[in-house]
Amino acid sequence: MPYLILDRDGVINEDSDAFIKCPEEWIPIPGSLEAIARLTERGYRVVVLTNQSGLARGLLDEETLRCIHAKMIAAVEAVGGRIEAIFHCPHGPEDSCECRKPKSGLFRAFAERYSVDLAGIPAIGDSFRDLQAAKAVGASPILVETGKGRRTLAHHPDLDIPVFANLYEAAQHILYCHA
């Protein structure tokens, strides 16, 4: 079964410059849950790779993050989808870790744990750092215009990658143009 990699904030759920700090602040982007369900139904194994610097900033703790992810998983499952795994970077931008995107540590951790070759795996994100991390490991970056996507496109208008309005449209493209 093929894998598909998603960023979380701005791709699956509404993003917030104030961070998603509790389950109540986690609000799915319209169509995103259904997109994951359709991908799951067609045999894709969906993995989420997400920077969560709110942990390093003291805005939430690991238990709260676990609760946010439990809400996301339950919401996806309620519409027939499945999230195979979630990998997160708990560090802040100044921590010099290897896991915070645009570095590729989250991708490498996923590949190692699941014995996956990342070459060509679709990786959907809304920020330039998502795209950089995907490209660094040979995955196929895709930009969505939700979250920080429009801003990313405005700052990098010459991106030579697929761009879609949202996760649902990106999923439709993957399912019907690359099936």
Q: What is the pTM of this model?
A: 0.96
Distance of alpha carbon 174 from alpha carbon 179, whole angstroms: 7
**Predicted pLDDT at 79:** 98
Domain carrying residue 37: 3-177
**Predicted pLDDT at 1:** 74
CB 53 within 8 A of CB 91: yes
- How many domains is the chain partitioned into structurally? 1
> The domain that contains 67 carries what CATH number?
3.40.50.1000
Amino acid at 80: G
Catalytic residue among 7, 15, 126, 130: 7
9 is catalytic: yes
95 is catalytic: no
**Predicted pLDDT at 99:** 96
Mean pLDDT per 10-residue run, the chain (179 residues)?
A: 95 96 98 98 97 95 98 98 98 93 98 97 98 98 98 95 98 84
Look at the alpha carbons of 75, 80, 85, 91 in this order and tell me if their dihedral is positive or negative: negative
